[in-house]
Structure 1
């Protein structure tokens, strides 16, 4: 009996060793499979990350489009962070454009008609409430606070001074490329302005501000890739134009004196 029990113990030990080897083999295979899956995920995600790192943003932009638009509430409106506010602003602008452009309404006439309507309603409401033994409505006192007006004036002053500084820098003749770009842009605006009036042009710009940034934010990488190729082609064509035309323009006497 003792010999039989001693003979059975090695069998049990060998069986336990086989089970342990199978368990370890399964764990190692599962861990290797998980490692392979992680490597596949890294390899699949690496092209997109490399693509994003390789794509250069338009005009050398490093900040998000929200910061480029000034941040705060105005950028939220342009990027449709709050769809109700953005839709309301765009709807009001559309109504104003329809009134003044399609229906040919005049601003002074609209203001007078709105004032007549508001005063008539308040007058009838005040007198009608006394007839039905109710207290007349309290008309609130409307006044414009000083601080927001001063902040708006200060912001406009800063922007106007910055625009004057840019125009002065362009007119000084330091950067020929910037000068030609501004002249071309002004010429394009003059041509577009001859096609339509100021209100329609302002409305088109307003609609573009509410559509182009949000679409650009959605398809940012694709647009930047196409823009990079277009900018590279533009630089190539400008180099040819510079070599054939601009380099042959004689320099002024001031530049000759500086070089001497």
Structure 2
């Protein structure tokens, strides 16, 4: 009985040590400097759900297809100098021609005509899209209502200034494509090497504060 009690106590102690180890590791990990002072995971910062899964390559096929489609669109409109209205009309012409020829060919082949589904947008989907647009528009208007917050004011001014410089270098489609590619590469690379990136960012921030203190001391 005594030996069994000793074994039970030792096993319980070892279990307690095992359970305490992850908590200690989590506590140490929580104290690690994170880029821009973030506290959430990268998946949650990107909004969670399916868009975050696409940006973080949770499903390689879906992410690759999305990035490939964006690349094909950029090549089509930017390098081949197509126009959106031209592409839309050509696509509709080809689709209608194929449907018309196939529908008439079925009479000669003694086959039933193709069943073309009727596309309709449900009312609840349209309402949700409208509410989402309303929320995003209100957020955009709220961003301009900066009041006396100097940091937000300077951040918005700096962002608009950078966008104006980029606008002189490339058009909107190229800028949108660059941002789209960065969304598909930077987050997944950062999530993979976040400890190394955060450590480097911490050292850089410390050096910047050191040089800033020297400059302010001289002035």
TM-score relative to the length of structure 2? 0.81
Match of 1:148 in 2: 125
Structure (1 or 2) with the larger CA radius of gyration: 1
**In the alignment, does 2:109 pair up with 1:132?**
yes
**Does the C-alpha gap of structure 1 residues 159 and 235 become closer, same or farther in structure 2, counting only changes over 3 Å?**
farther
Match of 1:189 in 2: 163
Q: Is the 8 A contact 1:65 1:217 kept in 2?
A: yes
Secondary structure at 1:120's aligned position in 2? helix
Q: Is the 8 A contact 1:78 1:86 kept in 2?
A: yes
Match of 1:215 in 2: 189
**Does the C-alpha gap of structure 1 residues 188 and 138 become closer, same or farther in structure 2, counting only changes over 3 Å?**
same
Question: Of 48, 52, 62, which residue of structure 2 is paired with 1:85?
Answer: 62
Match of 1:75 in 2: 52
**In the alignment, does 2:115 pair up with 1:178?**
no
Q: Which moved more, 1:222-231 or 1:88-97?
A: 222-231
Cα displacement (A) at 1:111: 0.5
Cα displacement (A) at 1:146: 2.3
**Does the C-alpha gap of structure 1 residues 243 and 154 become closer, same or farther in structure 2, counting only changes over 3 Å?**
farther
Match of 1:8 in 2: none
**Does the C-alpha gap of structure 1 residues 90 and 128 become closer, same or farther in structure 2, counting only changes over 3 Å?**
same
Question: Of 170, 192, 200, which residue of structure 1 is paired with 2:174?
Answer: 200
**Does the C-alpha gap of structure 1 residues 112 and 221 become closer, same or farther in structure 2, counting only changes over 3 Å?**
same
Cα displacement (A) at 1:95: 0.5
Distance in 1 of aligned mates of 2:27 and 2:105: 72
Distance in 1 of aligned mates of 2:53 and 2:77: 28
Match of 1:113 in 2: 90
**Does the C-alpha gap of structure 1 residues 163 and 240 become closer, same or farther in structure 2, counting only changes over 3 Å?**
farther
Cα displacement (A) at 1:137: 1.0
Secondary structure at 2:119's aligned position in 1? coil
Cα displacement (A) at 1:93: 0.5
**Does the C-alpha gap of structure 1 residues 152 and 231 become closer, same or farther in structure 2, counting only changes over 3 Å?**
farther
Q: Is the 8 A contact 1:52 1:221 kept in 2?
A: no
- What RMSD over aligned residues (CA atoms) do the two structures have, in Å? 2.8
Distance in 2 of aligned mates of 1:52 and 1:235: 24
Question: Of 23, 39, 46, which residue of structure 2 is paired with 1:62?
Answer: 39
Cα displacement (A) at 1:238: 5.8
**Does the C-alpha gap of structure 1 residues 241 and 105 become closer, same or farther in structure 2, counting only changes over 3 Å?**
farther
Greater RCO, 1 or 2 (C-alpha within 8 Å, sep 6+)? 2
Instruction: Map 1:213-252; keep pairs closer than 5 Å.
Output: 213-235=187-209
